[in-house]
Structure 1
Amino acid sequence: MRFPSSNLTFAALIVLSQSITFSAHAEAPSLQTDGPVIHLADNLDEEASLGWCIDTEGRGLSDQLHAHSCKPEGDDVLFTYVPETGMIASATYDGLCMAYNDPENAENPFGLVSCDEGDPAQQFVYNDASMEMRLASDPAQCVTVAEIIDDAGPYQSRDLILAPCGALEASLKQWVIQR
């Protein structure tokens, strides 16, 4: 079958746009971490395909949080979400929870503090359908990662930040809670 050149060009554009759409789909990480973690659903360019987990900054215990390659070993990436309280608790450091405690800090607004069920900065709402983690006191705001990737020894890191949910691409705000 012959197409006039304009139809052939149109057909080529359709095929090209479909291939771009299919290649833009999320790539799931290849998690190697044992234990409870909260990680992005999309590998989002993590070079070893380990994915991005909520993590304490630096090695071991820290009062600041970021997103980090989901390390095969390392207890500082182990976090659980407790739906009854809306809290994100460290599975390693007993009695410590994630808090949006430094909103003026553009790079590190989340910290690891003593768990307090009455503290609105420690209360989050996770939606299973959208996979979004929202701040309970301001549900228009989602927990997300910065677009910039930093080197972190043999791994990588990103700032863990809060941003308007409606302004974010799904790949930056969809979290998986692995128990």
Structure 2
Amino acid sequence: MDDKKIYKQLQDWFPELNCKKVPKESQRRDFQNFKAWMVTEKNGRQARSYLMPLHPAQPLRHSLGHSAVLQDMRLDLEKAHLEMEQAAQPTLQNYEQHKAEIGKNYSVQEQVAEIVLSEICSLLRQCGCRMLLIYADQYYWIAVPEHAEKVNKFCKKFEKQFKADEVWIELFSLSDCLKST
């Protein structure tokens, strides 16, 4: 198997990654190396990443400002972050009011993570991008150009590549339940 393909596809989607060498064959299947490879710097000072983390236990503590794709879109990321916090507030307030009835097994943070990811997905869709969601030690997302065939091939190759690390990927879509709110 040519395990360079996902790296080459990412360089095709994001030319800024062309300045980085594809990791050596022995390192290509290590998800930690992949995460490091996805980070760049602009003008030697501003950290930019094409792989964005989102920890499910702290979904409102994300760093949209480091997303290379969102930086390039010149969006008001502080405003976007505030809108995500506002979208999550009703869920958090409802949980606090009804914690005793809901029970301790309910994960409000998972629901907030879903809201945050949906908000990010909406932002990306407005700019002609799709979101790939990676399940690893935490959630990670990648904004990719909207091209169904290439995205599906990328996902299949990605899962094969990082299967040993138990890392999965999917094309994120807005939840029907969240669309109605």
Give the structure with the higher percent strand.
1
Instruction: Tell me the TM-score normalised to structure 2 length.
Output: 0.29
Give the structure with the higher percent helix.
2
Largest Rg, 1 or 2: 1
Instruction: Tell me the TM-score normalised to structure 1 length.
Output: 0.30
